[in-house]
Amino acid sequence: MSTPVPRRLPLAAIVLGVLFFLGLLALLFHAVQRSGMADRDALPSALIGKPAPAFELPVLHDASIRVRSAELRGAPYVLNVWGSWCAACREEHPVLTRFALTKRVRVIGYDWKDTREDALHWLEQLGNPFFVVLSDPDGRTAIDWGVAAAPETFLVDAHGVVRWKHSGALSDRIIRDELLPALVQAERDAPISRQGRATP
């Protein structure tokens, strides 16, 4: 009596099985990634309602010039954390550019964990919508702001108090429904004097 020879699975069935398994892994990875992003976006910033962390950083386009946070007081500003390596920052850039062109508020760029050459090339390619761009190549100052990833956007009022934060890419809807109402409220609570300094 001969021993039965085990039947081999057709090559096509093996390939389909591998593809199905890889597809499941991709779906699982995407779900976990989206869940993590949602959790990060939902986390409130501990800075809301508190003075913005003090900093003194070089200007990206001229490192000999340094900007201190105290110099930005007197009028509200939006601080946008970005990097040339950040895919979501590229996605957000046209939205941010349109908003900056309205000149509704100063939009200050915060180049994070980036090289000067890459950042300048990125702005040359995509356009520079920022009032000024600050450089934090080692990311140390951003720690005080609680920056976990890019992009992140903060609204700081005329008194230097953080009024709003968004983690992730800005959209027209977020600007319209969240940022602009927060800006209007900030201007009411901390009005700007005629001299450009915040009134007490």
Could you report the per-residue pLDDT of 109-153, keeping only the tens digit for each?
A: 999 999 999 999 999 999 999 999 999 999 999 999 999 999 999
3.90.550.10, 3.40.30.10, 3.40.50.620, 2.40.50.100: which CATH number matches 56-189? 3.40.30.10
pTM here is 0.76
Length of the chain: 200
Is a pLDDT exceeding 70 seen at residue 165?
A: yes
Residue 29, pLDDT score: 41
For 11, 33, 35, 53, the CA distances from 38, given in Å and listed in that order, are: 41, 9, 5, 25
Please report, for the chain, the start and end positions of each structural domain, with discontinuous segments joined by +: 9-42, 56-189
For 66, 141, 171, the CA distances from 95, given in Å and listed in that order, are: 28, 26, 6
Residue 191, pLDDT score: 84
Q: Supply the mean pLDDT for the chain.
A: 85
Whether the Cβ atoms of residue 150 and residue 81 lie closer than 8 Å to each other = yes
pLDDT digit string (tens) for 42-91?
445 789 999 999 999 999 999 999 999 999 999 999 999 999 999 999 99
Residue 91, pLDDT score: 97
Mean pLDDT calculated for residue range 179-196: 84
The separation between CA 112 and the C-alpha centre of its own chain, rounded to angstroms, equals 10
pLDDT digit string (tens) for 45-58?
789 999 999 999 99
